[in-house]
Chain A
């Protein structure tokens, strides 16, 4: 079976800084892949390369077996219709009300009638746990978590084949995380969409993922299922799951460290 997304030897540098180094990744149709990794390891850049917002320096990206790495114009346009993306910061259009944000593609590109669009917006809002009261508000009038959910609604409203979620549950309360996780899962199981999700949240990852890919310093260092992840002896994977390194590794260290070092704060400033 040809993978839905197939990435080979993808490299990207910004100036002297190499962000992606030889990334290889396959995502099968209907599969949900979760990309785990510390802050600043190139996760968002990877998504942007796939979706075509950043042009990679070398390597190839294939969608349905077609090389799309340097596609432009009409071809790129057709391709984009297959994609839905939630940006890390939401990226809602603040000049438009919430409902127009959600139905933007359908309203402006596929000329959907306004009434239908509003209905669809209402339905999609409901599925992300928001009521229709927010329909006519401007995005700046929403809380951070609500913006995230509107962004999510925008990504899934046109029922694209491939969904990209950049940290969908960051900044949400645990209850809402659960709702979003099951929403993502149901988009993939029920709609048959293919999904790539970036997250720091292991609970989410366990729930959403068919496959997990661990990225570190721009390289995919580990791939496998959730069960394999829990059993893995790979030290980076272990550290990520447990928030600290294995006992053996800790003993090898000469410098004294507190026993539990949360990974995020440790890597965050690097």
Chain B
């Protein structure tokens, strides 16, 4: 009897825990949906703050170029090396150029670029908005007749959505170039032949699918950064937590969405 009681107590505890966690999750999911809706409204509805948008395009887009470029070139290089190791086992070296460009444009460009930008930009957006929240700057904005969704959230989300595809386009070029460098100088391929192989099987869909993904990832990065920052509370510690959550949640979302988009649209 005692035993039974203990067990049932325990299971009630577990059920309770699961319940609370589920409710918490649903609550924050609800908040995220609401936030997304308000952000989209903020983007579509006037007034538009073009100078803010310009500033964000510069800091989110242009300043991310080195990070994304560096990621891309090494990815392209290692891709050539690895596929050489694999393909040379059944004398299919000629496929290397194709493998490099397809992997870079379809997968690695958008995903690795997205993850790097999530780390750089998502964190900085969350930290900036979080600091503005805890120092009451967002409140001050509201009292000065300015909607934070229009002035703060919209320019950041929009800038991230616009610039990530552009960054990924650069990353595609740089990544392919990285693969080219290794293939020519290290693996001893013929330059003209490699280039011909590179573009032989490339279709516009490969590039477009990558860029579409990138736009979605950009939106997610901007949105999650703003969401975490906007809802942060509890001083410097809270801002730190918001920053971490922004990076982790947007990175995970990128990985999941990448699969979903690939499976649904570009399978």
Contact = CB atoms under 8 A, between A and B. Distances in A.
Question: Main SS of chain A's interface residues?
Answer: mixed
Task: Count chain A CB atoms within 10 A of each CB in B47, B136, B139, B143 and give the residue with the most.
Answer: B143
Contact of A105 (B132, B135, B145): B145
Contact of B140 (A81, A93, A95, A108): A93
Interface in A75-93: 77, 80-81, 83, 85, 87-89, 91-93
What is the interface residue range for chain A against chain B? 20 to 34
B141 interface: yes
A85 B145 contact: no
A52 B140 CA distance: 11
Interface in B138-166: 139-146, 151
B136 A89 contact: yes
B136 A87 contact: yes
A108 B50 CA distance: 11
Contacts of B146: 104-105, 108-109
A48 interface: yes
A83 B146 CA distance: 13
Nearest to A48: B139
Contact of B135 (A48, A91, A104): A91
Contacts of B142: 52-53, 80
B25 interface: no
A109 B145 contact: yes
B145 A80 contact: yes
Contacts of A61: none
B49 interface: yes
A114 B144 CA distance: 18
B137 A93 contact: yes
A51 interface: yes
A53 B141 contact: no
A77 B139 contact: no
Nearest to B142: A53
A49 B115 CA distance: 41
A93 B141 contact: yes
A198 B132 CA distance: 23
Contacts of B139: 48, 53, 87, 91
A105 B139 CA distance: 14
A95 B135 CA distance: 13
Interface in B36-51: 47, 49
Given A87-B136, A91-B136, A81 B143 contact: no
Task: Count chain A CB atoms within 10 A of each CB in B132, B136, B146, B151 and give the residue with the most.
Answer: B136
A91 B145 contact: no
A154 B128 CA distance: 22
A98 to B, nearest CB: 14
A83 B141 contact: no
Contacts of A89: 135-136
A92 B135 CA distance: 9
A22 to B, nearest CB: 25
A154 to B, nearest CB: 8
Interface of B: 47, 49, 128, 132, 135-137, 139-146, 151
Given A80-B145, A93-B140, A109-B146, 5 more contacts: A52-B142, A87-B139, A89-B135, A93-B141, A104-B144
15 contacts: A48-B139, A52-B142, A53-B142, A53-B143, A80-B142, A85-B143, A87-B139, A88-B136, A91-B135, A91-B136, A91-B139, A104-B146, A105-B144, A105-B146, A108-B146
3 tightest Cβ-Cβ pairs between the two chains A and B:
A91-B140, A91-B136, A105-B144
